[in-house]
Amino acid sequence: MRDITVVGVGYVGLVTGTCFADLGNRVCCLDVDEAKIETLNEGGMPIYEPGLEEMVRRNVSAGRLTFTTDYAEALAEAEFAFIAVGTPEGVDGEADLKYVQAAAESVAKTMVQPLVIVNKSTVPVGTGDWVADIVSANQPQPVEFAVVSNPEFLREGSAILDFMNPDRIVLGSLNREAAGRVAQLYLSLRAPIVITDLRTAEMIKYASNAFLATRISFINEIANICERLGADVKEVAAGMGYDKRIGRYFLDAGIGYGGSCFPKDVKALAHMASIHGTHPQLLKAVMDINQYQRRQTVLKLREVLGSKLRGKVIGLLGLAFKPNTDDIRDAPGTEIARLLLQEGARVKAYDPVAMPNAAKILPDMELAEDPYDLAVGCDALVVCTDWNEFKHLDMTRVKKSMRQAFMVDGRNLYDLDELNRLGFIYRGVGRGY
């Protein structure tokens, strides 16, 4: 049993802390947001992640997991301090490190015994060295410490599974002993452990996310070509995926990627490349294609409903950037909603868990009780998130409720022939009508 402090109780921090507790460690999760900590101490959850609430309650009851806003309390017995705070997008696409800086300064001022400081947040290459300098400069008296980079590879909606069954553990440090100590925390997971220097570990995270985003934009560009040439991108992707050199993952054409990682990380990597004298042409193309996919949805609506969308009623199936999360950060659905509202359309939406978050940023959007309520009076429905419950809707009932039976399937969720048979005008992504 080790004593671990996790700074930040967002998606990464709360999942990381809870999973470490579930592995038998004593974990104190800290956040300066008093409302979040109060919610957790009262048994509530500040985020939605399948299975997390039950795991939090189990470990709190077992005395392995606690929450606080007090750095001194959190670090009193700590051997490890994981920094898992947000790194939002800056003005020029760079990662804003103000929360990392604040966390490093606070850790430095309150640590009382030797500590391994672990960067879990996604941070630009060179941040580990910078954090070490911050800690050294802010210690009231010298206390031994080491900095380790341990980038996260958690997917929202399956974060617990990803933590407990990782493809690999990446650790970077100038202090091999410290990296080895962090590796010990993960040994029971029986995953490959990659130990390298700080900057290489930080780069592995950005390169991984940029490559996955590139695959998504690549298949979306192929989808757009398929639409012009009469091919079906779903069959194209399936045929490509059988090639072991390519594989099937991240070859689902749609309305683009979103969330808190891919958009931000690709921009940050492009920014790093630009300011250090390289020309990130591919990364820029990846971002351009992603934005184009969202605008394509509006163009498809105009194609059938007319160039003027003012007064048209458009229903959005899904708002979260992906299923099994309430995260709407950079979600395609919310951007499409904004574009339609700007054109004067009446926008309705339904999402199983993300509507409270969406209501805060899109107050003019109407929220429906369920997918069938959403369909009533609509001129078109747009699938923005591929929630499982959307796959099994009674489409005959949906059609009867709509003013016009027009479907823009932004996730290729439905069978083209079946919807055409039911009388829908159907537009998927790359389906070769």
Q: What is the mean pLDDT of the chain?
A: 96
Tens digits of per-residue pLDDT, 89-111? 888 888 899 999 999 999 999 99
Question: In terms of pTM, does the model score above 0.85?
Answer: yes
pLDDT band at 186 (very low <50, low <70, confident <90, very high): very high
Dihedral sign computed on CA atoms, order 130, 131, 136, 139 = positive
Dihedral sign computed on CA atoms, order 81, 167, 384, 50 = negative
pLDDT band at 1 (very low <50, low <70, confident <90, very high): confident
- Assess whether the region 3-196 and the region 212-427 belong to the same CATH fold: yes
Tens digits of per-residue pLDDT, 263-304? 999 999 999 999 999 999 999 999 999 999 999 999 999 999
The predicted structure's pLDDT at residue 44: 95
Tens digits of per-residue pLDDT, 300-348? 999 999 989 999 999 999 999 999 999 999 999 999 999 999 999 999 9
Question: Which of the residues are catalytic?
Answer: 261
The predicted structure's pLDDT at residue 360: 96
Which helix (H) or strand (E) segment is 357 a member of?
A: helix 355-361
Rounded distance, CA 364 to CA 379, Å?
18
> Which residue in 241, 94, 129, 116 sits closest to 178, CA to CA?
116
Q: CATH number of the domain at 3-196, please?
A: 3.40.50.720
The predicted structure's pLDDT at residue 433: 65
CA distances from 150 to 77, 121, 168, 300 (A): 21, 8, 11, 43
pLDDT band at 195 (very low <50, low <70, confident <90, very high): very high
**Fold assignment, 212-427:** Rossmann fold (3.40.50)
The predicted structure's pLDDT at residue 93: 86
CB 89 within 8 A of CB 95: yes
The domain segmentation of the chain, as residue ranges, is 3-196, 212-427
The predicted structure's pLDDT at residue 92: 84
Tens digits of per-residue pLDDT, 384-407? 999 999 999 999 999 999 999 999
